Chains A and B, each alone.
Chain A
Amino acid sequence: MQRQRRKTAAMVAAGRNADETAIRQWLVTNIAAVLEIDAAAIDVKRPLEEYGLDSMQAVCLSGDLQQWLGRTIPETAVWDYPTIESLCKYLCRARMSA
């Protein structure tokens, strides 16, 4: 059953070259959209779970992030880096070492 699979949905990774500011902005916008709250109400230093994000939404978000950045993101990234600030730093670090 081993075979080459088609590449996951042919989407352009629009955030391939995003810098830290752009990544932070993307996270705030997209997390606000998932939670259906005003982006201005999100404090990047607060754990996202305190806003009512659940673990399933967190995994879905890692998938969206993966698509936007065009690289592999661990499924547990949003649990492991629970604030936007820490997640953003991790994503920038991970890119440098990639």
Chain B
Amino acid sequence: MTDPGTILGILERRTEDSQRIAYEFLQGDTGGPVLTYGELATRVGCLAAVLQDRSGERATLAYLPGLDFIIALLGCMSAGVIPVPVYPPMGARPERRASRILHVASDAESRLCLTTLSLRAALTRAFEEVIPGTTVLATDEFSAHNRASISISPDPDSLAMLQYTSGSTALPRGVMLTHRNLMANLRSIRESYGYHRETRGVSWLPPYHDMGLIGGILEPLYTGFPVVLMSPLFFLQNPWRWLETISHTRATTSPSPNFGYDLCVQKIPPESVGGLDLSSWDSAICGAEPISSATLRRFASTFAPAGFRMSAFRPSYGLAEATLLVAAPENGSEPSFQPFDRAAMERGKAEPSATCDARARVLIGNGQPAEGMTVRIVDPVTCCTADPGSVGEIWIQSPGVAAGYWKKPELTGATFHGYIAETGEGPFLRTGDTGFWHRHQLFVTGRIKDLIIVGGRNHYPEDLEMSVCESHEALRGVPGAAFSVQTEGQEMLVILHEVKRQVLKQEIAPDDLFRAIHGSLFGDDIRADAIVLLKPGGIPRTTSGKIQRHACRALFLQKELDIWAEWRSPRAVRAKLGEGRLPAPPTMLAVGSGGQEAG
């Protein structure tokens, strides 16, 4: 059969099997609401009828994880409205989290916000203050309305959605995905993991972007297999629920960032393992953050008695700018843990190491590029193809690569228009990640972009720097830097900040500043592993005043800062973070903090 061109065409085709279950949303220990393809299509059509006169606009979608979110997403597309999923405000201080939605809404130039009755009042108030004239609709109200349903057939090259990968406030980046991008990557995903109609999925990932949205929600619809969804909080509260659901539904595919596998090992008591049957699970996808071989080994041995196989792991590489997937290993093969010489890697060379000691860094292969993907390793400075065995920036060309960032022509040019110097070949997506080829597999070593990835979520340093700066009078208006360092397979956040000159004369206890900084980072869903407060002028800047994060990182690692006060988390103390023990990478290429490492 030919592809119908858009995910809406796929939805229409699925209604031939209208009684088949598309989604179940698990919210208690006894199950949850279910949507069949028939019900999904009807509710999407009804919502599209309500939205049709807003066609062409962007709508922010502020939903707790659940079936209403999926209906809203497809309902928008069906009405020609461009959905912009965002993290909804949660907990007792919604105003603090509503500010992220407002930043995204303002960046996306959206005057329409879709949500549910439970959040409508709070969001209406928030929008009235900041973006007056915004319509806030609760779409769970419409399900009962018996309106005529409509469905348009959008042009495959039109915008399907804007994908914001974090609640970025300082520099929001909305990745523009066309219907063609979506369809191309959904196809790549299906081929890479060998999905078919008998596949069964489970996902607890946040449904707003990347693995949770494209892989967890749209891929099952595209291929036509059922998926059981649950909220990330439901999983975090009791990780056993994830594995029990896989066991119970005989699921074959389920993804998680590295930390999710770790959490299962920490939280599930050995006596509960025997009650699980994980033998059906053949695609235990890991992605979204650097993967640790120690984590995978621990998980595999802990859950081997439940029938889990090491060969089920599919350590994958992808990013929002490519819709989702770039590379994944073949089905049925064990992950390739390969030690490389640490010193050579710091010189930008990938040399396999015969030993697994401290001089080696164990990396995990991400397999081959997915179907339709051209992947090149390129010197990021000269833009020439890197020599075989050399580390370089990962460049990608594929129909799944996005059209660019919404209303950010310069950033789009710098990121999406890479041309290979010696051949003029392009345009390529410059991923900002570094890696190399080894035995036809892609290995990711780190990052040259400033992105911080913790707990499977992307954080832009600008946002964290802004929060920290606003957290205490003594930090306001003076420079600071946020960056991450990877040790023992964990990515640790480091905050460097100058304090105002007046503070040095006053009696302000450093503990007060540490507390204020911790408090502000809580709102960003991240915690610091090191906080270093510096005397005025301690943060390296360019002549134009721009903060040099790479230089900050190097000074921190080499212990060459003029420190006023500092704080470390216990795990940072154990890892001797910033005690001058970790070699500071000499080249730009090795500066990245991502990649994969054995503990």
Chain A interface (Cβ < 8 Å from any Cβ of B)? 1-11, 35-37, 46-47, 49-57, 59-60, 62-63, 66-67, 75-76, 79-81
A5 to B455, Cβ gap below 8 A? no
A9 to B518, Cβ gap below 8 A? no
Among candidates B236, B244, B528, residue contacting A52 with C-beta atoms closer than 8 Å: B528
- B570 at the A interface (CB under 8 A): yes
Expressed in whole angstroms, the Cα–Cα distance for A80 and B231 within the complex equals 18
B244 to A49, Cβ gap below 8 A? no
* Contacts A52-B518, A75-B233; A60 near B525 (Cβ below 8 A): no
CB contacts (< 8 Å) of A76 on chain B: these are 90-92, 233
A49 to B31, Cβ gap below 8 A? no
Among candidates B90, B228, B240, B249, residue contacting A8 with C-beta atoms closer than 8 Å: B240
B92 to A80, Cβ gap below 8 A? yes
Expressed in whole angstroms, the Cα–Cα distance for A8 and B518 within the complex equals 33
Expressed in whole angstroms, the Cα–Cα distance for A53 and B528 within the complex equals 9
* Contacts A1-B21, A54-B521; A75 near B237 (Cβ below 8 A): yes
Expressed in whole angstroms, the Cα–Cα distance for A54 and B527 within the complex equals 6
11 residue pairs of the A-B complex, CB under 8 angstroms, read A1-B226, A8-B238, A11-B269, A47-B519, A49-B518, A49-B519, A55-B522, A60-B267, A63-B236, A75-B233, A80-B91
- B29 at the A interface (CB under 8 A): yes
B236 to A9, Cβ gap below 8 A? no
CB contacts (< 8 Å) of B238 on chain A: these are 8-9, 63, 66-67
Expressed in whole angstroms, the Cα–Cα distance for A58 and B527 within the complex equals 12
A3 to B31, Cβ gap below 8 A? yes
Expressed in whole angstroms, the Cα–Cα distance for A80 and B263 within the complex equals 23
Contact flags B256-271 to A (C-beta < 8 A → 1, else 0): 0001000100011100
Contact residues of A: prevailing secondary structure: loop
Contact flags B58-95 to A (C-beta < 8 A → 1, else 0): 00000000000000000000000000000000111100
Among candidates B31, B93, B236, residue contacting A1 with C-beta atoms closer than 8 Å: B31
Distance from B527 Cβ to chain A, minimum over Cβ atoms (Å): 4
Expressed in whole angstroms, the Cα–Cα distance for A57 and B569 within the complex equals 14
CB contacts (< 8 Å) of B91 on chain A: these are 76, 79-80
Expressed in whole angstroms, the Cα–Cα distance for A1 and B26 within the complex equals 10
- B272 at the A interface (CB under 8 A): yes
Distance from B404 Cβ to chain A, minimum over Cβ atoms (Å): 32
CB contacts (< 8 Å) of A59 on chain B: these are 233, 236-237
Q: Which residues from 217 to 266 on chain B have a C-beta closer than 8 Å to any C-beta of chain A? A: 226, 228, 231, 233-234, 236-238, 240-241, 244, 248-249, 259, 263
Expressed in whole angstroms, the Cα–Cα distance for A38 and B209 within the complex equals 39
Expressed in whole angstroms, the Cα–Cα distance for A79 and B523 within the complex equals 10
A8 to B570, Cβ gap below 8 A? no
- B30 at the A interface (CB under 8 A): yes
Ordered nearest first, which 4 A-B pairs have the shortest CB separation? A49-B522, A63-B237, A36-B570, A54-B527
CB contacts (< 8 Å) of B269 on chain A: these are 9, 11
Expressed in whole angstroms, the Cα–Cα distance for A9 and B264 within the complex equals 13
A54 to B525, Cβ gap below 8 A? yes
Distance from A50 Cβ to chain B, minimum over Cβ atoms (Å): 4
Highest count of chain A CB atoms <10 Å: which of B29, B237, B248, B516: B237
Expressed in whole angstroms, the Cα–Cα distance for A44 and B450 within the complex equals 37
**A52 and chain B: residue at smallest CB distance:** B518
CB contacts (< 8 Å) of A49 on chain B: these are 518-519, 522
Expressed in whole angstroms, the Cα–Cα distance for A60 and B262 within the complex equals 13
Known: A56-B455, A80-B92. 18 other contacts (CB 8 A): A1-B24, A1-B34, A3-B31, A37-B570, A49-B518, A51-B518, A52-B527, A52-B569, A53-B527, A54-B522, A56-B525, A60-B237, A63-B238, A75-B231, A75-B233, A75-B236, A76-B90, A76-B91
